[in-house]
């Protein structure tokens, strides 16, 4: 399956299959193509409140598919500045376009050095091959 999984080169990734795209001091966060495929059709998302402070790898979003509910963890510490409200009416955007229209939240990053504990696209690609064996 790894060959078919889309991975964006300049994003960073977690072992729990979240991605973060860092621009200036803001990180846009979502879940990866691998994660959306594993979840199946997303039917509901519980978004965090804007202004919420999150720690790195702390659960801050809950996503439900037809099958089950899953926790989403923040790739870095920060303050939630914006959430993708379009997901409330159309949570399936996560399945259709997980890296663009299906983004989940933006956070103002408080500890930029935390990025070093995340995986690059290449690391993540290798990581996927290990978990699929």
Partner 1 sequence: MPTETVIHNTPLAGEHAALGAKMVTFGGWNMPLQYAGILAEWEDNRKRCSIFDCSHMGEFIICGDAVACGLDRIVTQTIADMPVLTCRYGVMLNDQGGVIDDCIVYRLTGEAWMMVVNAANIAKDAAHVKAHLSGNTPFRDASFETAKIDVQGPLSRDVLKPLVPGIERLSYYGFEVLDVAGIRCIVSRTGYTGELGYEIYCPWGQAVEIWRRILKDPGVKPTGLGVRDVLRIEMCYSLYGHELEENISPLEAGLDKFIDGNKDFIGKEAVLRQKEAGNHRTVGYFVSGSRKSPRAGHTLYNGQGRAVGTVTSGTFSAGLNAGVGIGFVEKGENVLEKKILFGDDKTKTEGMMTRRPFYKNGSLKK
Positions touching partner 1 (CB under 8 A) are 40-41, 43-44, 46, 64-69, 91-92, 95
* d(C-alpha 14, C-alpha 23), whole Å: 18
Closest approach of Cβ 39 to partner 1, in Å?
Answer: 11
Q: Which is nearer to partner 1, 44 or 132 (CB)?
A: 44
Measured from the CB atom, the residue of 56 and 70 that comes closer to partner 1 is: 70
Q: Which C-beta is closer to partner 1: that of 98 or that of 118? A: 98
Instruction: Please identify, using beta-carbon distances, which residue of 69 and 131 lies nearer to partner 1.
Output: 69
Q: How far is the CB of 76 from partner 1 (least distance, A)?
A: 24
Contact 121, 8 (CB under 8 A): yes
Task: Count the alpha carbons within 13 Å of 3 in the hemisphere toward its beta carbon.
Answer: 0
What is the smallest separation between the CB atom of 15 and partner 1, expressed in angstroms? 22
For 6, how many CA atoms within 13 A lie in the half-sphere containing its CB?
Answer: 12
∠ Cα 34 132 96 (to 5°): 15
Smallest separation (angstroms) from partner 1 to the CB of 31: 16
Say how far apart CA 18 and CA 24 lie, in whole Å: 19
């Amino acid at each position: 399956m790894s060959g078919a999984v889309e991975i964006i080169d300049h994003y960073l990734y977690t072992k729990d299959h979240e991605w973060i795209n860092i621009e200036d001091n803001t990180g846009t966060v979502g879940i990866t193509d691998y994660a959306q495929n594993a979840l199946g059709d997303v039917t509901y998302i519980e978004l965090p409140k804007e202004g919420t402070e999150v720690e790195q790898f702390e659960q801050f979003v809950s996503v439900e598919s037809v099958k089950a509910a899953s926790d989403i963890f923040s790739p870095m510490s920060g303050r939630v500045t914006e959430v993708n409200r379009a997901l409330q009416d159309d949570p399936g955007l996560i399945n259709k376009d997980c890296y663009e229209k299906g983004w989940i939240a933006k956070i103002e990053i408080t500890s930029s050095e935390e990025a070093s504990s995340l995986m690059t696209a290449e690391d993540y690609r290798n990581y996927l091959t290990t978990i699929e064996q």
